[in-house]
């Protein structure tokens, strides 16, 4: 959905692609830090990457930030739903179709600090107010070499704003389903430092997900209400971030709800020598949260329900790390090195209603590792990089009957980027990555309607070995002012011991699943991006991803005939999107976007297909005065019924959402 300035040209890291200002007159090189932990031009990366700038996020027809990410077909969310209408535990980030369950297989960062939920690995997207974001970076492909755990499929990073050009900015949007988003941001300088504060309120009464022909009297809208706030203080090389979140959700019936309370603080200290040939960064973080979720059993006719399970999951997260870099060979090369450590403590206090029993599974997970890497500009046109990381972790179950477990992993990565001629880049990379099972997967059970999933304390880590090759071209078309950018990537990932919600039994009214390690899976595909800038004010972007993700080896001890060759759950056969953007110098802007999601399956047995779907979105930005902008946006313009699950009844994704509002900027 985002303009080509960020997704079709730089997306998948087109070699010479650079973004434009609002009228296409100025081009600057895009710099990213997420792929290597060092500032690197997109054109020098050996792996595919993409960047969204703040302006593009602000103008995208996406009421919540994770909906904006669907503009890149390589990026998808679990169950075709966003944080507007999905349970937090299903808010995993799925890059390149390697996530067979709701847990995120990508590491999500905020200014270099891990953001994934410490207990479950999912992502609270609403933790970062939109007005706080300067840009979002995504590095695709195994990212464990520089980052370790959770970066199995790549890394997404929120880069927040350090200060504002004006004193105050406000935005209010309101639409159907009683949907309201209000944001405010303020900043300024003091002495030798700066301060930036932001907050966001979001509320929607939601919609009923259960298909009309399946509904009963218990079915209610999926609702969401949350409040988030962040404070960033920079002084010299020191950055302190404090943030908090309060979230309340209704999950479709009166007895199914969940609440989250979160607070965290982090501190980062950066140092760079006067000559600029070396630098370092150290950080520390502390977080605490409580996640509560209630589950029910719904009658076959959906006219009654009864409470079956109440959960309260407190968790704490402490961590520290640091890395440094030094130049060699003048400025042609850099050596980087560092390490980090995290300690997560969480448990699920569970009350089983039908027999009035209680249990408190959970534990402590200590993890850490160290890495080293070399990035070398072998010639003006060739960049070579290589890195290696070693990690170890130790789980200590809270249940005295459980056994402590330790494991380790080695994650290499190497790649090359070559610019053989003006406007052309070729690149290739190979990597290894891993993800340790979360405390949630090891110890916490859950239930979605009449689908119950059990934990598995014997899970082992997922390991990925992958490679990719790609390239791109960017340049003018003939003697015209039009500029074309095209880019493509082919990737192949082998995923060993992938953690999946395996189907144990199926009946008309109840499905039982258990977390298990698959023998192996393959995720391969092709990503193609294109962008055309013409007539100074118009942009057409198009992107396509073919996703071929399937089970190669069954769960040990099970019948391979039931799963081998099946597609991984919740991974579509393809994703594609095309967008037409118009932007004028006075501030007028508009977009029309068409996206298609291919067929996918909800389950590992491939018994529950979800049909292909088409989404059309649109937006109009109208300047009122210098300090005010009026916005009209529509998501799912033609009210497409998007199948999101079939277990045990058919459910649909978000219907048409129309909303409008103002963005106000108050000058100094």
* pLDDT greater at residue 667 or residue 431: 431
Which distant-in-sequence residues (6+ apart) come within 8 Å of 364 by Cβ?
A: 343, 344, 345, 395, 396, 398
Q: Note if the bond before 648 is cis, omega within 30 degrees.
A: yes
**Which pLDDT does position 33 carry in this prediction?**
75
Residue 5 has pLDDT above 70, yes or no: no
Tokens 């979360």, residue located = 438
DSSP 362: E
d(CA 382, CA 424): 12
- pLDDT at res. 21: 37
pLDDT in tens, 539-586: 999 999 999 999 999 999 999 999 999 999 999 999 999 999 998 877
pLDDT at 579: 94
At 39 the pLDDT is 75
Q: Which residue has the higher pLDDT, 593 or 80?
A: 593
Q: What is the pLDDT of residue 401?
A: 60
Q: What is the pLDDT of residues 221-261, one digit of tens each?
A: 999 999 999 999 999 889 999 999 999 999 999 999 999 99
70 lies in a domain? yes
Name every residue whose Cβ is closer than 8 Å to that of residue 366 and which is 6 or more positions away in sequence.
Answer: 341, 342, 343, 393, 394, 396
164-173, 380-389, 628-637: which has the minimum mean pLDDT? 164-173
Segment 197-228, tens digit of pLDDT: 999 999 999 999 999 999 999 999 999 999 99
Report the pLDDT value the prediction gives residue 247, as an integer from 0 to 100: 97
CB 61 within 8 A of CB 635: yes
pLDDT at residue 400, rounded to an integer: 60
- 418 domain residue, yes or no: yes
6 lies in a domain? Answer: no
Please give the pLDDT value at position 217.
97
Residue 228 located in a structural domain? yes
Greater confidence (354 vs 486) lies with 486
% of the chain residues with pLDDT over 70: 94
What's the pLDDT tens digit per position in 180-199? 999 999 998 888 899 999 99
In this structure, are residues 224 and 252 in contact, taking their beta carbons and an 8 Å threshold? no
Q: Does 17 have pLDDT greater than 50?
A: no
Question: What CATH number did the domain enclosing 51 receive?
Answer: 2.40.170.20
Contact indicator for 456, 441 with CB cutoff of 8 Å: yes
Residue predicted with more confidence, 358 or 77: 358
> Is the predicted pLDDT of residue 641 greater than 90, yes or no?
yes
Using alpha carbons, select from 622, 533, 641, 608 the residue that is nearest to residue 4.
533
pLDDT in tens, 140-149: 999 999 999 9
pTM over 0.75: yes
pLDDT mean over 458-464: 95
Mean predicted confidence (pLDDT) in 381-389? 95
Q: Among candidates 637, 528, 539, 540, which has minimal Cα distance to 576?
A: 528
Q: Is residue 384 part of a domain?
A: yes
Residue 213: count of CB within 10 angstroms of its CB: 7
For 124-158, b/e burial (b = at least 16 CB within 10 A) is bbbbbbbbbbebbbbbbbbbbbbbbbbbbbbbbbb
Work out the pLDDT band at 117, boundaries 50, 70, 90: very high
- State mean pLDDT over 520-527: 96
Band of pLDDT at residue 27, cut at 50, 70 and 90: very low
Q: How confident is the model at residue 525 (pLDDT cuts 50, 70, 90)?
A: very high
Distance CA 112, CA 411 (A): 20
Band of pLDDT at residue 25, cut at 50, 70 and 90? very low
Please give the structure tokens belonging to residue 234. 């920079």
Over residues 29-52, the mean pLDDT reads 78
Q: How many structural domains compose the chain?
A: 1
Note the pLDDT of residue 164.
Answer: 75
Determine the pLDDT at residue 16: 31
SS3 of residue 353 by DSSP: helix
453 belongs to a structural domain: yes
pLDDT bin (cut points 50, 70, 90) of residue 10 is very low
Element (H, E) at 443: helix 439-443
pLDDT-derived band at 385 (thresholds 50, 70, 90) equals very high
Question: What tens digit of pLDDT does each residue of 433-456 get?
Answer: 999 999 999 999 888 777 889 999
Q: So what's the pLDDT on residue 610?
A: 96
The overall average pLDDT reported for the chain is 89
Output the six-digit token pair for 314: 């407190």
| Structural domain that includes position 535 | 31-666
- Whose tokens are 């959402």? That residue is 657
pLDDT value of residue 275 = 59
Instruction: Find the radius of gyration of the CA atoms of the chain.
Output: 24
Task: Kindly state whether residue 5 falls inside one of the protein's structural domains.
Answer: no
Q: Is residue 634 within 8 Å of residue 594, measured between CB atoms?
A: no
Task: Answer yes or no: is 471 within a domain.
Answer: yes
């Amino acid at each position: 959905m985002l303009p080509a300035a960020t997704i079709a040209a730089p997306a998948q890291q087109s070699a010479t692609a650079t973004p434009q200002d609002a009228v296409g007159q100025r081009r600057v090189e895009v710099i990213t830090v997420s792929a290597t932990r060092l500032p690197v031009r997109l054109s020098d990366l050996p792996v595919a990457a993409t960047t969204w700038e703040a302006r593009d996020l602000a103008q995208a027809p996406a009421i919540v930030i994770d909906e904006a990410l669907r503009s890149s077909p390589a990026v998808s969310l679990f169950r075709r739903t966003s944080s507007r209408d999905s349970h937090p535990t299903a808010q995993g980030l799925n890059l390149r179709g390697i996530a067979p369950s709701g847990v995120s297989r990508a590491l999500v960062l905020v200014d270099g600090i891990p953001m994934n939920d410490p207990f479950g690995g999912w992502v609270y997207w609403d933790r970062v107010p939109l007005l706080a974001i300067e840009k979002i970076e995504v590095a695709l492909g195994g990212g464990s070499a520089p980052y370790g755990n959770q970066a199995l499929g790549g890394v997404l990073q929120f880069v927040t704003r350090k200060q504002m050009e004006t004193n105050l900015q406000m935005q209010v949007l309101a639409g159907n389903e009683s949907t309201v988003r209000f944001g405010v941001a303020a900043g300024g300088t003091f002495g030798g430092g700066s301060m930036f504060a932001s907050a966001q309120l979001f509320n929607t009464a939601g919609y009923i997900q259960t298909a009309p022909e399946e509904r009963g009297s218990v079915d209610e809208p999926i609702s969401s209400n949350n409040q988030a706030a962040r404070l960033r203080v920079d002084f010299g090389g020191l950055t302190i971030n404090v943030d908090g979140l309060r979230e309340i959700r209704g999950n479709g019936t009166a007895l199914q709800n969940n609440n989250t309370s979160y607070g965290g603080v982090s501190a980062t200290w950066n140092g760079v020598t006067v000559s600029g040939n070396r630098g370092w960064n150290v950080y520390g973080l502390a977080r605490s949260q409580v996640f509560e979720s209630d589950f029910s059993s719904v009658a076959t006719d959906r006219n009654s329900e009864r409470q079956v399970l109440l959960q309260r999951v407190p968790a704490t997260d402490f961590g520290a790390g640091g890395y440094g870099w030094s130049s060699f060979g003048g400025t042609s090369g850099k050596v980087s090195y560092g390490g980090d450590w995290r300690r997560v403590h969480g448990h699920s206090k569970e009350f089983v209603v039908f027999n009035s029993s209680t249990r408190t599974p959970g534990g402590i997970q200590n993890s850490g590792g160290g890495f080293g890497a070399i990035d070398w500009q072998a010639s003006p046109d060739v960049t070579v990089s290589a890195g290696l990381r070693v990690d170890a972790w130790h789980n200590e179950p809270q249940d005295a009957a459980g056994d402590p477990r330790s494991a380790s992993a080695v994650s290499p990565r190497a790649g090359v980027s070559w610019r053989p001629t003006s406007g052309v880049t070729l690149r290739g990379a190979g990597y290894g990555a891993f993800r340790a099972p979360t405390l949630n997967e090891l110890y916490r059970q859950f239930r979605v309607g009449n689908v119950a999933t059990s934990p598995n304390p014997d899970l082992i880590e997922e390991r990925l070995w992958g490679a990719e090759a790609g390239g791109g071209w960017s340049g003018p078309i003939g003697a015209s002012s039009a500029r074309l950018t095209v880019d493509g990537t082919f990737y192949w990932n082998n995923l060993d011991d992938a953690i999946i919600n395996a189907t144990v039994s199926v009946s008309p009214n109840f499905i039982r699943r258990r977390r298990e390690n698959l023998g192996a899976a393959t995720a391969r595909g092709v990503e193609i991006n294109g962008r055309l800038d013409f007539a100074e004010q118009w942009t057409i972007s198009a992107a396509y991803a073919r996703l071929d993700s399937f089970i190669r080896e069954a769960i040990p001890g099970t019948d391979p005939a039931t799963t081998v060759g099946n597609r991984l759950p919740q991974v579509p056969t393809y994703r594609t999107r095309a967008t037409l953007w118009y932007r004028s110098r006075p501030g007028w802007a508009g977009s029309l976007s068409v996206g298609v999601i291919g067929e996918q399956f909800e389950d590992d047995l491939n018994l529950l297909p979800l049909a292909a779907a088409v989404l059309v979105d649109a937006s109009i930005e109208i300047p009122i005065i210098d300090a005010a902008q009026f916005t009209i946006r529509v998501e799912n313009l033609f009210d497409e019924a998007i199948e999101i699950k079939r277990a045990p009844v058919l459910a649909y994704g978000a219907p048409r959402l129309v909303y409008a509002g103002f963005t106000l900027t108050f000058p100094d």
